Structure 1
Amino acid sequence: MLDKSRSDRFDAWPETLQQEITENWTNCRVGSHLASETETLRIWHLHLQPGERAPFHRHEETYFWTVTGPGKSRSHYHDGSVRDTVYTAGDTRHFQLGAGEFFVHDLENTGTTPLVFVTVEFKS
């Protein structure tokens, strides 16, 4: 769970975000739409309009995402960090998560164009 003993990391977060991350700690819905699932993988689509935000969710599988167009985002992470990212069409990022590894974050579209991601999770 959220490490409240290190509450100084979360002091700048609004109370609503602190509450939401705790409530969504085990939410593994990493996209807005599950496009396909087999025994070995899940393919998610995520669409965020400017100003829209995906709730906190947990990544615990090895995965990659590709963004289909340019944009900007901000994410709050379970370690208290906040990261802003700028994307160009086709950007792809891979994440290798071992047994028991995970991270929890949200994703807000801070740009002026829709953000569209395709995420592929490799089921353990």
Structure 2
Amino acid sequence: MTATEQFIVEDGPYALWSPARIEDMQANIWSGKVGTVLVSETETFRVWHISIAPGERLPFHRHVLDYFWTVLSNGRARSHYEGGAVRETTYCAGDTRHFSFAPGEHMVHDLENVGDETLVFVTVEMKAGKNAPLAL
């Protein structure tokens, strides 16, 4: 985060967020750790496992690389996004979603398990894209 960036809490997109969530976003806004465990990395790919028990969350992180995830379990999650949006998603085992980023584009969000079962994902990032990989 640069010195000119700030988060307005009293009024605006983050007004309903807890102070702890805002602090987590500020602390991790440049984090390239998009999963729980990095299980493989080559010159062209990073493969992550994500396992989040009910009530747990994956901290904020920044996506800059084209990637896809596949969920291996059924469940529900809530994500908070840079800019203030909050979205809930219901997952079915096998669901897969692909993301692509233009030069300079990114997405910052967290992932909180709001369901009753452990959420398990595999996420694959393509390092040979339009943006340089973030340091881990």
Q: Per residue, is there more strand in 1 or in 2?
A: 1
Is the Cα–Cα contact under 8 Å of residues 25 and 60 in structure 2 kept in the other structure? yes
The ranges of structure 1 where at least 4 consecutive aligned residues each deviate by more than 4 angstroms after the TM superposition are: none
Distance 2:73 2:65 in 1: 25
Identity %: 50
Structure number with higher helix proportion? 1
1:14-42 Cα shifts (integer Å, max 9, x gaps): 11111110110110100111011110110
Measure the CA separation in 2 of the matches of 1:111 and 1:55.
Answer: 17
Distance 1:44 1:5 in 2: 33
SS at match of 1:4: coil
2:7 paired residue among 4, 9, 24: 4
SS at 2:13 equivalent? helix
Structure 2: distance between partners of 1:90 and 1:99: 30
Q: Counterparts of 1:55 and 1:34 in 2: how far apart (Å)?
A: 15
Summarize the alignment of residues 28-43 of structure 1 with structure 2, pairs less than 5 Å apart. 28-43=32-47
Structure 1, residues 63-90: CA drift from partner, whole Å, max 9, x if none? 0000001000000000100000000010
Number of corresponding residues: 124
Find the residue that maps to 1:27 and give its secondary structure: coil
Q: Which residue of 2 aligns with 1:27?
A: 31
- In structure 2, C-alpha distance between the alignment counterparts of 1:83 and 1:96, rounded to whole Å: 19
| Structure 1, gaps ≥5 residues long | none
Q: For residue 63 of structure 1, what is the aligned residue in structure 2?
A: 67
Gaps in structure 2 of 5+ consecutive residues = 130-136
Give the partner amino acid of 1:23. A
State the shift of 1:5 in Å: 5.6
Give the C-alpha shift of residue 3 in structure 1.
5.3
Q: Distance in 2 between matches of 1:96 and 1:3?
A: 27
TM-score w.r.t. the length of structure 2 is: 0.87
